Amino acid sequence: MTFTVAIDGPAAAGKGTVARRVAAHFGFAHLDTGLLYRATGLRTLDGTDPVTAARALKAGDLDAEEALRAPEVAQAASRVAAIPEVRTALVDFQRAFARRSGGAVLDGRDIGTVICPDAEVKLFVTASDDVRARRRHAELTGNGHDVSLDDVLSDLRQRDARDSARATAPLKPAVDAVLLDTSQMTIEQAVAEAIAITDARKG
C-alpha cells in the first residue's frame, strides 16, 4: 500500500510536529524535507558549491539534527533552496520516500504542489508570525541557542519572503490543500485535526 500525506507551510508553523505525530498514529514513515535543504546549506557554509553539496547528500547527513537546527543553517537552507538545480537534485529521493510501501508523511514547502501533486492528503499548516516566532524562540532557547525573539521573528519573515518569492517551487498552498491555522490550537488539537482529515481520505 502507498499513501502520501503532504504537509506544507511557512517556517515554524508546526508542520514537523504534526507530521511526526500523524506518521506515528498511522504507522507511516516521516521525512522532514527541510533537513535536506538544511544539510545542503550547512555544507555551503565552508564555501562548498550548493549544487555540488545537494548532489553529494547522503541519507545519513540528515542525522546531525542538532547542527541542522541552528538559526544560521536555516538562513543558508533558504538561500540554497532558491537554486533550481539544488531542488532538482533532491526530487528523486523525496518521491521515492513518498511512494514507499506502508505510507509516508512528508513536510516542507512544495510537497503538495511539486514533489507529490497526487498525494492522498494535502495540508497547509499556518500560524500568525508572532505565534510562530514565539514557538521557535522557546524551542531554540530550550536547546541552548542564545537568540532574541526579535531576531527569530525577522529570520522567519525573511525566509518566508524568500521562499514565497522564488520562481521555482515557491511556498504556497496547493489548490486542493486543507488549510490548518494553528495560531489558537494546542499541538494536541492540531494533531487531532490532521488525523481526522487523513482518516477521512483513507476511507
The binding site comprises: 9-17
11 is a site residue for ligand CDP (CB under 6 A)? yes
The answer to whether the CB of 79 falls within 8 A of the CB of 41 is: yes
Q: Which of 183, 181, 179 is nearest to 197 (CA)?
A: 179
Q: Which of 94, 93, 88, 147 is nearest to 117 (CA)?
A: 94
* Touching ligand CDP, residues 81-120 (CB under 6 A): 81, 108-110
Side-by-side strand order, sheet with 29-32: 29-32, 104-108, 4-8, 121-126, 178-181
Most distant CA atoms of the chain, gap in Å: 49
Least distance (Å) between residue 12 CB and ligand CDP: 4
Candidate residues 3, 14, 54, 177; the one interacting with ligand CDP per rule CB under 6 A:
14
Q: Which range, of 52-60, 97-105, 134-142, 143-151, touches ligand CDP by CB under 6 A?
A: 134-142
Q: Which residues contribute to the annotated binding site for ATP? A: 9-17
The answer to whether the CB of 197 falls within 8 A of the CB of 142 is: no
Candidate residues 5, 16, 112, 180; the one interacting with ligand CDP per rule CB under 6 A:
16
Backbone φ and ψ for 122, nearest 5 degrees, come out as: -130, 125
137 is a site residue for ligand CDP (CB under 6 A)? no
Candidate residues 34, 50, 103, 112; the one interacting with ligand CDP per rule CB under 6 A:
34
194 is a site residue for ligand CDP (CB under 6 A)? no
Amino acid identity of 136? R
122 is a site residue for ligand CDP (CB under 6 A)? no
Q: Which residues bind ligand CDP (CB under 6 A)?
A: 9, 11-17, 33-34, 37-38, 74, 77-78, 81, 108-110, 135-136, 139, 159, 163, 182, 185-187, 190
